Structure 1
Amino acid sequence: MPIERRAFLKYATLGCACCVASKFTGFAGDAAAEQAAAHAAAGGHAKPHWSYDGQSGPEHWGELSPDFKVCQLGLEQTPIDLAGATTGDPGGIAFDYRELPLRLVNNGHTVQVNADPGCSCTIAGTRYDLVQFHFHHPSEHLLDGKAFEMEVHFVHRSDAGALAVVGVFFRPGAYNAGLQPIFDQMPKSEGLEVEVAGTFDPATFFPESRAYFRYAGSLTTPPCSEGLTWTVFREPVEASPEQIRQFAALFPNNARPVQRRNRRFLLQVNP
């Protein structure tokens, strides 16, 4: 049965976006972004080391620091399996993107592109500015139980500090010209941000079909803060097998396993 927009928006705000925003207060630069939050310093002390396997892997994130407890105890964790969605109207999404200079950083967990001001999306009347985007191999979300080869996350922040993330799947297929300026110059080892030649239009990663899923979720890396608005396009875009292998050579697995959906609404929108 379709869910009314008012009911969904009421639910989506229960994650307390203001609490999420407080987690990033005082952090510099792109610290409100998903991966930067995982590396930010608090009180002059480095965050505990975390990874995607072993004793510092996802199953143990909640044990590594009191700040990471929500990774273990949260009820609105991301990613999830995008299955069994209900058709609804969560308020829509509109993008206002432009070409950006390439500011790349290998932060030890992914390759990230930090965004200059000027790109934004609007969700249910709220504007969110693009902060950064980054890649996962394989995909973090599943679609009806199936993983894709890669997934890109566009991380946005509102003036109030709330976060909204847009995800796009990649599958093997045609060469992706949009990826190449990034992949040709992505740093091979962890380090500081570097600005490289060229520009990039993030909108080139969006599929032609604008069908998408919407749900309330979390960061997919420690501290796994909840209260985020997630939008994931249903249709994947293509990248060549060589391009996928190029990223996988740096990050063979940087995907958090799927989490329980619990009692959350998962809406599917077919514009």
Structure 2
Amino acid sequence: MKTTLRTLAVLTMGMLPALAMASHWSYEGEGSPEHWSEISPENQMCKQGMNQSPIDIDNTLKAHVNPLKTRYVDSPATIINNGHTVQAGFTANAKDSVMIDGVSFQLQQLHFHAPSENTLHGKHYDMEMHLVHKNADGELAVVAVMFETGAANSELSKLWQAMPAKAEESSQLTQKIDINKLLPSDLSHYRFSGSLTTPPCSEGVRWLVMKHPVTLSEQQLKQFTSVMHHDNNRPVQPLHGRVVVE
């Protein structure tokens, strides 16, 4: 049953308020990314930050990064159309997590951008999924997965079946999501330090961008873009000397 986004405020407040709640920022017109810092004093990092995301992944440093260890189980979720993206939120007692450098990060939510926000050698993918995690100290880590058009994605279909068509609506998924099926079989990835890609653009976020894409059908991509009505990707940001490792 669909409800308004306001009824889910208690569930989403602890995730990422800028993503979970609609506000005056947008991807077009006066609220577009180049104006985010003008909308609120809290958004100054969007303009002044030196470690902003997304980025273009081009030159990398071979550093033998630790393998990503995932622990995703079938989890119930609430799917939200907040006007900026389509987001699936997970309860506080969900057991989905990843292990990064020996530290456990619990999955908070996942959401989508089309076209992709991060690029590879200047190339946008058709869509990008961000799995947002938080550790016990409140630090964030985002696992990013690229999608390219091809075969339909059966697990994505479960999300899309419940996707609200209107902003500030939500619905409870009737089927549990197996996040493992939204990931490539090879979890090799690029790593860099970055930020949230939406206001307030907070920095100190660990980014892990999967090297290998997964697929979605053209119809699945069209279903998402038709609901969004516009591209929802922030332009790539300067590296300012940052190194991307793999």
Give TM-score, length-normalised by structure 2.
0.91
Runs of 4+ residues over 6 Å off in structure 1:
none
Which runs of 5 or more structure 2 residues have no equivalent in the other structure?
1-8
Q: Cα deviations across residues 64-92 of structure 1 (Å, max 9, x unaligned)?
A: 11100000010000000011011113433
Map residues 62-211 of structure 1 onto 2, 5 A cutoff: 62-116=37-91, 117-211=94-188
| Equivalent residue in structure 2 for 1:225, among 198, 202, 218 | 202
Farther-moved stretch of structure 1 (151-160 vs 202-211): 202-211
Q: Cα deviations across residues 10-55 of structure 1 (Å, max 9, x unaligned)?
A: xxxxxxxxxxxxxxxxx95333534x33456xxxxxx851000111
Residue in 1 that maps onto 2:15? 33
Give distance in 1, aligned partners of 2:20 and 2:180: 27
Q: Name the CA shift for 1:88/1:32 in 2 (closer, same or farther; >3 Å).
A: farther
Kept in 2: contact 1:48–1:64 (CA 8 A): no
Which runs of 5 or more structure 1 residues have no equivalent in the other structure?
1-26, 41-46
Kept in 2: contact 1:51–1:57 (CA 8 A): yes
Farther-moved stretch of structure 1 (184-193 vs 174-183): 184-193
Residue in 2 that maps onto 1:256? 234
| Paired AA for residue 69 in structure 1 | Q
Farther-moved stretch of structure 1 (240-249 vs 90-99): 90-99
| Equivalent residue in structure 1 for 2:31, among 52, 56, 65 | 56
| Paired AA for residue 232 in structure 2 | N
Instruction: Give the C-alpha shift of residue 169 in structure 1.
Output: 0.4
Instruction: Give the C-alpha shift of residue 190 in structure 1.
Output: 1.6
Give distance in 2, aligned partners of 1:264 and 1:236: 24
| Paired AA for residue 159 in structure 1 | A
Kept in 1: contact 2:19–2:84 (CA 8 A): no
| Paired AA for residue 71 in structure 1 | C
Instruction: Give the C-alpha shift of residue 264 in structure 1.
Output: 1.0
Q: Name the CA shift for 1:76/1:28 in 2 (closer, same or farther; >3 Å).
A: farther
Instruction: Give the C-alpha shift of residue 250 in structure 1.
Output: 1.3
Kept in 1: contact 2:189–2:208 (CA 8 A): yes
SS at match of 2:51: coil
Give distance in 2, aligned partners of 1:159 and 1:174: 38
Kept in 2: contact 1:101–1:200 (CA 8 A): yes
SS at match of 1:259: coil
RMSD of aligned residue pairs (Cα, Å): 1.6
Instruction: Give the C-alpha shift of residue 96 in structure 1.
Output: 0.5
| Paired AA for residue 180 in structure 2 | A
| Paired AA for residue 141 in structure 1 | N
Q: Name the CA shift for 1:232/1:62 in 2 (closer, same or farther; >3 Å).
A: same
- Identity of aligned pairs, percent? 37
Give TM-score, length-normalised by structure 1.
0.83
Farther-moved stretch of structure 1 (220-229 vs 100-109): 100-109
| Paired AA for residue 181 in structure 2 | T
Residue in 2 that maps onto 1:215? 192
